[in-house]
Each structure stands twice: as structure tokens, then as C-alpha cells.
Amino acid sequence: MQVTTLSFYRLDAFWHRVWAFLHMGLAPSKMRRVPDIGFFKLLGTGRGAGFHPAPNFHVYSILATWPSREAALRGLEDAAFRAYADKATETWHLLLSAVQGHGSWDRQAPFECERTAASPRPIGVLTRASIRWTRLLRFWQSVPSVSATTRDEKHMRFRIGMGERPILQLMTFSLWDDVDALKSFAYRDGQHLTTLRRARAEGWFSEELFARFRVIESRGTWGGRDPLADVDARPLSEAGVSEAAE
């Protein structure tokens, strides 16, 4: 079973932030040499919880895929990952298994979806898109109103905006209590759904990807606590449970 790791590192010391920024160009060659690593991306983050054009130089993230949980845990202890953890004031690792996905990332389908008869909780959602130059203004004009729709979502445990290239190649990751909470948000007749339909109709994206994940394990803290510490992680039966919107 393929395992995806999503690691977050908070770097507060000035020279550690400088190191991390410069390392965005240097680290890929080191990451490629980590045993058993598959698809991987080094990601910067934006200010706030969603998309933001201004970068947050305090927080960096690494996404990677592995052939198993054991390989993932070994990989997170490799020197390429430890270089970040040793400089970080706070580190949080999520071990995930994809349960649904479509689209592409750099013309690849990076996540292998497991077959499951249960509806996972909590549930992780990743969206990623490359924005066309000609649609940049429309996209960024829509961001504030869409972000506002998530502020009062009590069933969303975590959300962050990330990117490979500021402004152009963006990604969000969020954690929800269960699939019904995600469905309630995604299908609600509001700004989020309206903007998504407009983006598809007008061709804002040259490439996009959506994936849902089951949370296997949470390690470390974020904001001084494990965001999933009080979540009941037992899966719900798929019987009678609606699929979440994409």
C-alpha cells in the first residue's frame, strides 16, 4: 500500500529561514537519493490558512510518496528530512493513504488509491492547480471571498495553502472530521461552488489535481498541539454515507 507523507516545519530563527529558502533549489537532488522515495515536492507556504500571494517564510512543507508505512518512517529519519527537522522549532508529519483522486501533477498521477469499504475519518483533502497566465487576475480576485467561506467551518481541523511557484502553482491541504462534513461544505450553494464552476467553465487552470486521503498516523505538533488528538479516527461504514464532492 502506497503511503503519502506530508511534513510541516516551522522555522523561527532568521538564518534557518534563509537556509530553507535557499534549500528549495538545492534539496531536490538530495531528496532523489533517499531510499524508496517516489514522487516528492518541496513546498513553500502562504500567509493565513488558504491561498495567499505573500509567502510565509516561517513554514515549509515536503510531500512524498513511499511503498509502505515502514519505508515512509525510515525516510522521515533520512538526513535530507532531518536537516529540516533539526532546524525547526516545530515539526508535524502526517502519514496518509489515498482513497480517491483524479487529475495530474507534472503530467503524473502521483497517488495510488487503495480500495476501502469504509469512509475514513478524519479525511484529508488535497487540491492542486497550475494557473494560466491569462487567468491570474480572475483567480486572485476570487480568493478572498472563497477563503471567507471556510473561516467558520467547525468540522475543518486544519487548512494550509502551499505552492511550488508563488502565484502560479498552488496547492491546499485540509483536514475534516468526516466525509459528510466535507460534502456539506463542497456542495453548499455558495461562493466556493460558484467559483469552482466558473474556473472550470473559463479554463483557469492548465493542470489540476484532487485527492482524498485516509489518515494513517499523525506525528508531532502544530501550533503546540496535535490537530487530530481529539478526533475519533475509527472509520464509518460506507453504507448510507454519501461521497464527498470533488
Name all domains of the chain by residue range, CATH numbers in brackets: 3-223 (3.30.70.100)
All 3 cell numbers of residue 102? 483524479
Tens of each residue's pLDDT in the chain, 246 residues: 899 999 999 999 999 999 999 998 889 999 999 999 999 999 999 876 666 667 889 999 999 999 999 999 999 999 999 999 999 999 999 999 999 999 999 999 999 998 875 667 789 999 998 888 887 777 766 765 666 566 667 788 899 988 887 777 888 899 998 888 887 777 665 666 677 777 777 777 889 999 999 999 999 999 999 988 877 655 554 433 333 334
Mapping DSSP to helix (H, G, I), strand (E, B) and coil, where does residue 232 land? coil
| DSSP character string of 23-83 | HHHHHHHHHTTSTT--SEEEEEEESSSS--SSEEEEEEEEEEEESSHHHHHHHHTSHHHHH
User: Inter-axis angle of helices 136-148 and 191-202, to 10 degrees?
Assistant: 160
**What CA dihedral angle connects 124, 130, 136 and 141, to 10 degrees?**
-10
> Using CA atoms, how far apart are residues 240 and 242, in angstroms rounded to an integer?
6
